Each structure stands twice: as structure tokens, then as C-alpha cells.
Chains A and B, each alone.
Chain A
Amino acid sequence: MTSAHSKLYSDDVSLVVVVVDTNPFFWATAALPFADFFANLVHFVNSILLLNHLNRVVVIASGVSSCAYIFDSGDASPAGGVGVAATFDKASRKVEEFIAQDAHATASNSSAASANAASLLSGALSLAMCYIQRIFRSGTRHPQPRILCLQGSPDGPEQYVAVMNSIFSAQRSMVPIDSCIVGTQDSAFLQQASYITGGVYLKPQELNGLFQYLAAVFATDLHSRTFLRLPKTLGVDFRASCFCHKKTIDMGYVCSVCLSIFCKNQKKCSTCG
């Protein structure tokens, strides 16, 4: 993994970009209510900010048709107690606005809405990477960035190419992608993401104690991870989706020029011709 810039890091200062899945179809039937989930998340964000006064947290919500920044700790005022309540209010208001916006967007784009619609993981990852890149260019000393994905809805195979591109750009910038699955199914994309970028993939069994999982596993900064033993996955689902039908395939055909994957033999590659 080569890095594009030479960076000077502070040792245990971290920038955590949390990608929150706000897919209503998933949350409507989830075991853990969204309110509790959000509470756990807020406590977790507070804990990270308490670990080091230079830590930064950014929360990105990924909906069905759109993604947006919900919270950026860099915006918050440095004042004490009053600021906290105001910040919380602001954040919750933003979530509400975003969901309303997403509802609007989904309603107008009726074809995308379905029971098994996936959240826009690719868009959220791209937003996260853009923010991180901005941080990289901000000065000589930056916190060490990492991305935490709290995912519940299933993977959308149509996003395979975009998600893989984001994963590779994260790998190149040496940004680990951690994943915490709050849904019922494993996510192949996030397994691959964590494997390739060197992050942690976790699917907790006890969702009531989500905060405990987050605090024990995902709150550690990158420097400390070198001497901590974190949960490792035993196997990764490395199957790709084919470029023509977006089906997950085990064996297929590969274009020798651009390495696009197809399930059927095609004379002409649709990507590079």
C-alpha cells in the first residue's frame, strides 16, 4: 500500500468518520429500535471526543437515495455544558431533515424504492473519503483518519463497482474501514472493505449492548491497535458481482484489458470496448 502524501501524524489523535445506515426499510423491522441505536451512537461519539481533545468525529447518514453530513465535531463551539445540549439538538434536527429529504427523493424516484433497497454505501464512503482528503490537505499535522460503517441493510450489488473503488482509494490512502453490522445478514462489501484496508469487521450478537461493542472495539485509535488484539474474521466472502447483471458470481469471464468481470462470454467488453 503506497500512500500518496507524506504525512506527519499525531500519535493517538484520530478522526473517525461514522457512516450510519438510515434505511427506513431496515429500521422498520430491526430488532433494535432506531432511537436506542441512535442513543448508543451518540454516547459512542461522546466517548471518542472525550478520549483526546484533538479527536474529531464526523457522522454521515446514508439513506436510500441520498447521503449527507449530519455532524462534524469540528464545527462545535469549544464552550462547555450549554454547547453539548445545543449540539445534540442540532444533530437530531439534522437527522430529521435528512430523513425527510431522503423520503422526498425516494418518493420521486419510485423505481429505487423496494423492500430490499440498499442504503447508499458507495455514496457515503465517497463522502467520507472526500472529507478525509480535505483533512489531509489542511496542514502538516492531522489526526489519523478511519471510517466506521454501521450497516444494517443488505448490500446492493449494483453498487459493487463504486464500493470497490472507494475501498481501493481508502486502501491507497491507508485509511482503515471498520464495520459493525447491526442487521441480520453479513455484508460481503464491508467484509472485503475491512479485510483490504486492515480494519475490524464485527457482527455483534447482543445488540442491546451495542455501545459496549463500539467502545471496546472501535474506539481504539490506530496507534494502539498495533498492540491490542481485536476480533478477527475467520473468512471473507470475496465473490464479485458481474458487471452486466450485477449478480454475485463465483466464476466468470474477465476482460484482459480492464479486468471487468462478466458472467457470460461477451465479444465486446462494455467498459473498455
Chain B
Amino acid sequence: MRLNVHFRSIKCHKVGSKQARSLLKLCGGPDKGGDYMFEFDNAADRDQCRDFVAMVLGQHQGTIPPIPNIPHESVASTGLEQLTAAEVEQRMKLLRENSELQKLHMKFVLGKILQESEFWATRKEANNASKQRPAFKSAMLDLEPSVDGQTNKVTYRITTEKIHQIFVEKPAVHRAFLDSVPEKMSEAHFWSKYCEAETLLRTQNTALAAAHAAVDELLAVFLKSDDILAKEAKFKIKQVDPTLDMEPDAGDYYSRLLDHRILRDGSIQTVDTNSEFVMRTLSQDLNQHAAVVLEGRSHDVKLTDTKTLAEELARLKKEPSSCYNTDDANHERLVNVAHVTCMEDLQAPRNLVYAPLCIKNPREYLESQQANALRSLGGSNDGKKACNCSLSTDDAFFHLIDQVSSIKANRLNCNVVDSNVALKVFNELNKGISYSRSHNLKNPHENILGQLPGQTRDELMDHWASIQELLRHFWLSYPITSAALGDKVERLKDAMAQIYQKLQDMKESAAPDVRHEMSQLVKPMMQAMDAAFSHDLEQQQKCSKGKGTSPAGLETRRVAWPVQSSI
């Protein structure tokens, strides 16, 4: 018994809960024939059908004319892909948001040229947007205590995120935490001690700090400079290529000597820099923080419990430190250094071999040029020709010398230019300048597309988008390894041939004043398609040659693609 239901009449679909029977309900609404309830043997089948229905409904929602009932033998018949509901949702969203994408989708998938899976295969990147891992914040860690003026209490707020950052940035604190919690003290106690140390450091009172450190050894750890960091810094310095100029970086290693001594809150360090109880300067903190952020978060550290967090971090840190400091590595480095530092004055002089461009035979060249010069030649000038001078050389020179003598005799007259003439000159110059200006400024922003009528422009853009899509799939299908791919290529070629023909028609029917622009626009599209067609032809020829058919017997495919256009 068959049931024929138009997808048009279905408004939505619902799925029964997993524990109950595998149900799929298609709701049509009261006037469209009511609801249909399907029961499946297992959830997997039901899910498949659900996904298919979702897709079709999604297409429906985007289109205005109703699509006829899509039978199962349609393009999607190569087996419904195992889409998850999330992916279907995403695809529908993309189609809804991007109208161009929707147009392409309609044209190709529903026009049976491309398959759904192929269409989306190249757009998978859009689906992976949610897989980024957030890293540490680039803002520096600041505990921001709130000070209550009345009761003189300072309150610190510490979250797990901040703890994570503290552990990564200050390894000495991390080590102290691992040692003392939970054996020696509770976590709350540990953090309160830490906050106490922070407060002490901010006051920059070294004497007070020293006093406290002497009493409480945990405070001492917090107040003193981080020895692990110092060791790491030393180590990093050793790893650097000796030929680098390390002078500017020396401040970091020798910690306080060459620094600006600017602290976190902007004030300058005033206390004796040699004592152990000073806060790290801004530059040191910045560098450390930047190094931590750039290294990125390690993968599987979960921010659940501080203790586990600390242990995880400790575990992760132990691994990379084993590969340094082998003798081989050192030796290799020294060899590289020897290569790089070459002392120029000890090198042998290097005369580069080059071929200067020169006249091979100057005499020959000059002689030929002289022969040319001696020939009486007239250059071609457009415009009025000068009236041919019929005077002989001597006469001409006499005339000129006459003129010069008259100059000497008459000296210069004061009125060199008549005022009317001057006015005429100015007018002419003005006209010329404004004309050339208007000529040069004409339509600087209008490009070729702007000159075409709107409909033609839209059509052209449409064709361009379709050609891009088709060509993308075309080039992706090579080399043709299966019948399915070959089939796909055939379909693509058909579609391209159609568009080619349409472009040709557009070109021929263009109005005469835009014909040139039109052909310029259409040319690259046709060239791209020509390239695709000729590639296909080559492939077929190779294929048939490989099969051993005679050269005269090239199999002709059913599409006769148009002849290469020449513009």
C-alpha cells in the first residue's frame, strides 16, 4: 500500500523520544490533511528519514514556487548521507542567510547537476567554526583587591581561571602549592597567604617584607623572586644563537640592573634593587605573561579542582625538559655558529662573474648609425607640414644674422606684449586647462560594469557565480578514477556548455556602444571554460590512446563544445 504525500503539505516534523517507540510525525496543519505518524523498526532508520525530511523542508522554506514531490529516485538517491541534525540545521541556516548560496544550490542540486554531498563538501569549513579553543586572556593578571576604607580590610577574589594563570606564570607558586596543599595547609589558607604576600609587595616595604618572610616560610616563597623563572631564563639565554646581539636582552636575565624599573602600577621602583623582596618590574611581568599566552593552553587541562589542576600542569611540564642539553645538540650549534660568523676581511676576494651589456662591435654600430645620419630622411609628423624652405644654407644663415644685428641695434623695446594679446593668451590657457581637466576627470569611478544596463549586469554576475561553482567542481573531479566522477564531469560540462552558449548570445546581442565592454567582461569567463573543455579533451585523448584505439577513432562525446572564442 503506498501513501503519497506532498512535501508541500507538511509544515514541520517531530521526533518521538528515544525511550519510546521510534516515531516520526509529520504535521501538516488542520487544513492540509492532518498529521502523519510513522513508526520505524529502529532509531537509526527513523533518524535517516528525519534528516531527509529536514533537508527537504529546509529547501521548501527558502523557495517561493512549490517544488513538486521529490521522488526517491532523485539526485539524492546515491544513499542518504548520514547527516546529523546539527549539520542539517547548519546547512539550512547557511542557505537562509546567504541568498547567493541559495540560488546556486537551487540551480545545481535541484537541477540535478550536482549532488547535495558534493555541493556541501567544499563548504565544510563553514561548519567548523565552533572548534576553537579559547586561550588565556591577553590582559595581564591583576588580582584587583577591593579595599574597604572603614574596616581596613582588603578583599581578594580568586577564580579558577586566575589560579590557572598564576600557576602557569609563576612556577614557584605552583611548586609551593603542590608541596603544601593538602598536607601542610588547606587551600584557602594557601591563597590567603598568597594574597598577604601580594599586599606586602605592593607596599614596597622591604623591611616589613623581610620580617614577614623570616617568620613564615611560605610567605618567603611568595615574596622572594621566582627562582624557577630565573633558572628557565638562564636556560633560554644559553639556547640562543651566540651570534645574536644579546645586549638589549641582558636586562631580563640580570633581572633588575638595566631595567626601566617601572612597576605594574606605574610607579618607579625606589627600593634597593639588590634585595630579594621587590616586585618584578612591568617589563618582566609583561614578557612572562606574553610568553605564557603565546604558548597556548595545554589541551586537556580542565578547570575543575585546583589540586588536580596543579598536578596536571606539573605533569605536562615535566615532559619537554628532557630533550635539551645533549652534547650532540651543542656541538651542532657550535658548528652552525662557525658557519654563520664569517669575518669578512679574512675571506678571499670574490669576484662575481657577470657579463656587462656592451656593444659587441662598436665600430660596426657607429658606422651604421653614421650611414643613417647621412641619409636625408624626413620624420613623419602629423599635422601641418612646415613650408619647405627654398633658401640655400647661406641665405638662411644670413637672414638669421641679420635678425640678430637688428636686435643689437634696436635694443629691447619695453612693450613686449600688447595687453589685448595678453588677454587672449590668458583666455586660451584657461580654456585649455579646464578642457583637459574635465576630460581627464570624466567618470573616474565608473568601471566597465557600471556602463551596462542593470539586467545585463545581474545576468552576467549570475553567470559568473555559476561558472565559478561549476569550474570548482570540475577541477576537483580530476583525475577521473570512477564512473561516478566521469558522470559528474559530463553533467558539469553540459551545464558549462549551456552557459557558454548563453554568454555567446549575450555578447552578440549587446548594444553597439557597450559591445566592447561586454566582450571584455565575458572574455575571462569563456577563457576559463575553454581551458576546462580543452583539458577534458586532452584527458580523453590520453585515455583513448592508452586504451589502444586508433587515432582516427577518437570517441566523440555527446557534447560538442563550442569552438574557442577569439575576441
Task: Specify which of A106, A205, A232, A270 is in contact with B397 (CB 8 Å cutoff).
Answer: A106
A209 touches B424 (CB 8 A): yes
A107 within 8 A of B: yes
Please measure, in the bound complex, the distance between the C-alpha atom of A273 and the C-alpha atom of B364, giving whole angstroms.
10
| Category for how many chain B residues contact A | 35 or more
Known pairs A114-B376, A155-B379, A234-B440 / 13 extra A-B pairs, C-beta < 8 Å: A26-B386, A38-B407, A92-B407, A115-B390, A153-B386, A185-B386, A206-B425, A208-B417, A208-B418, A212-B421, A216-B425, A245-B372, A273-B359
B403 touches A34 (CB 8 A): yes
Interface of B is mostly: helix
Contacts of B436 in A (CB 8 A): 231-234
A185 touches B384 (CB 8 A): yes
Task: Specify which of B380, B384, B397, B403 is in contact with A103 (CB 8 Å cutoff).
Answer: B397
Contacts of A3 in B (CB 8 A): none
Chain B residues numbered 393-409 whose CB sits less than 8 Å from any CB in chain A = 393-397, 399-401, 403-408
Please measure, in the bound complex, the distance between the C-alpha atom of A115 and the C-alpha atom of B396, giving whole angstroms.
10
The residue in B359, B361, B384, B422 that gathers the most chain A C-beta atoms within 10 A of its C-beta is B422
B412 within 8 A of A: yes
Please measure, in the bound complex, the distance between the C-alpha atom of A239 and the C-alpha atom of B368, giving whole angstroms.
22
B374 within 8 A of A: yes
Task: Specify which of A42, A93, A118, A211 is in contact with B417 (CB 8 Å cutoff).
Answer: A211
A1 within 8 A of B: no
A216 touches B384 (CB 8 A): no
**Contact A28:B391 (CB < 8 A) given known A96-B405, A99-B397:** yes
B349 within 8 A of A: no
B301 within 8 A of A: no
B295 to chain A, nearest CB (A): 45
Chain B residues numbered 421-435 whose CB sits less than 8 Å from any CB in chain A = 421-422, 424-426, 428-429, 432-433
B389 touches A28 (CB 8 A): yes
Residues of A whose CB lies within 8 Å of any CB of B are 22, 24-29, 33-35, 38-40, 42-43, 88-89, 92-93, 95-96, 99-100, 102-103, 106-107, 110-116, 118, 153-158, 183-186, 188, 204-206, 208-213, 216-217, 229-234, 237, 241, 244-248, 257-258, 270-273
B439 within 8 A of A: yes
Please measure, in the bound complex, the distance between the C-alpha atom of A270 and the C-alpha atom of B429, giving whole angstroms.
45
A206 touches B424 (CB 8 A): yes
A210 to chain B, nearest CB (A): 8
B428 to chain A, nearest CB (A): 6
A261 to chain B, nearest CB (A): 13
Contacts of B357 in A (CB 8 A): 257-258, 272
A41 to chain B, nearest CB (A): 10
